[in-house]
Amino acid sequence: MTNIERIEELKQEKNLPDEDFKLLLETITQNERDFLARQARMVREQEYGKDVYIRGLIEFTNICKNDCYYCGIRKSNDKAQRYRLTPDDILNCAREGYELGFRTFVLQGGEDGWFTGERLEEIIRSIKGEFPECAITLSVGERTKEDYKRWYQAGADRYLLRHETASENHYQSLHPPDMTLQNRKKCLFLLRDIGYQVGAGFMVGSPGQKVDNLVDDLRFLQELKPHMIGIGPYLSHPDTPFAGQPDGSYERTLVLLSVLRLLFPAVLLPATTALGTIAPDGREQGLLAGANVLMPNLSPKSVRKKYELYHDKICTGEESAQGKDSLNRRVESIGYHIAVSRGDSRIE
Ligand code: 5AD
């Protein structure tokens, strides 16, 4: 079987045997990647037309109790300059975002205990009170069922929690012993059962990752059936135990975006900041490979540089929400256009 045949089968069947996934990922050529991206784009346009959905990302705290070996805001990095936005700051970010045309706000942060179930609930209620037609997405890690329920009842619509890697041993090699893949998965299923639109995802090329691990990721996603899938290349950060490890592959990330589009035709798939960091036109190429969501930064300029998950994260102009005009032009230049809408998932 050739890779072209594999791609055609993947598109038809929305699936492939493990061995064919592996061979495709390992042996795909530039021409075959172009073919794959075209197929993914076709499916994306059948599902979502030319619309690109945008989310205003509010990185509201970089304080984190976790010590993930890959992450620049891990607890043990004492070089990180820590910050925490106030509830008022957060509401002001949403106000600015609304004016710019955002109808989804993503509240993302480290696992910061200051934001108790109750405090975050109040923040959700204040944003929903002022902008009832907007969607709120939370991305604040592993919390209790009670917190998740409380926030859902307060009006949160969606939750992003990347599983990072679906292979037990690989998960353990990326995280300290107090974090488990089992709890991560448990949280994802809980969130889905509560009623959130759920996003999972993984890093491409994280240290020690093998093709088998990527196949595990795809199989786990097939089991979870998330509404959203966030992936991006692993990018090394100098102040982590993984300093100096090679970055993930740009090309492989694009291939995986296309594979995900063919596997999950209706999924919401962002071209992420990490993709825009590894290549200057990474996010456009991501859209051309099947992605349909962008998540510009709405955080105050003064803190943007501090939310440094990885080295040299883009965070000055164009990628930010304030650079919306230029973002618009970039999206139009590849034949798509930014929708002013909540951009809900088409999955149940
Ligand atoms: N490189 C790329 N992505 C990273 N993330 C954390 N650290 C890095 C890194 N060094 C991703 C994780 C996390 C998301 C918010 O950012 O997948 O879930």
pLDDT tens-place string over residues 26-56: 999 999 999 999 999 999 999 999 999 999 9
List all residues whose CB is within 6 A of at least one atom of ligand 1.
Answer: 70-71, 162, 164, 203, 232, 234-235, 237, 274, 309-310
- Give the distance (Å) from ligand 1 centre to CA of residue 236: 10
- Give the distance (Å) from ligand 1 centre to CA of residue 275: 11
Closest residue by Cα to atom 14, ligand 1, is 162
Q: Which atom of ligand 1 is nearest to the CA of 235?
A: 1
Our measurement of the distance from residue 276's CA atom to the centroid of its chain's CA atoms, rounded to an integer in Å, reads 13
Q: Which atom of ligand 1 is nearest to the CA of 71?
A: 7
C-alpha to C-alpha distance for 5 and 174, rounded to whole angstroms: 35
- Give the distance (Å) from ligand 1 centre to CA of residue 309: 6
pLDDT along the chain (348 residues), means of 10: 98 98 98 98 98 96 98 98 98 94 97 98 98 98 98 98 98 98 98 98 98 98 98 98 98 99 98 96 97 94 90 68 84 96 88
Record the pTM: 0.97
Closest residue by Cα to atom 16, ligand 1, is 309
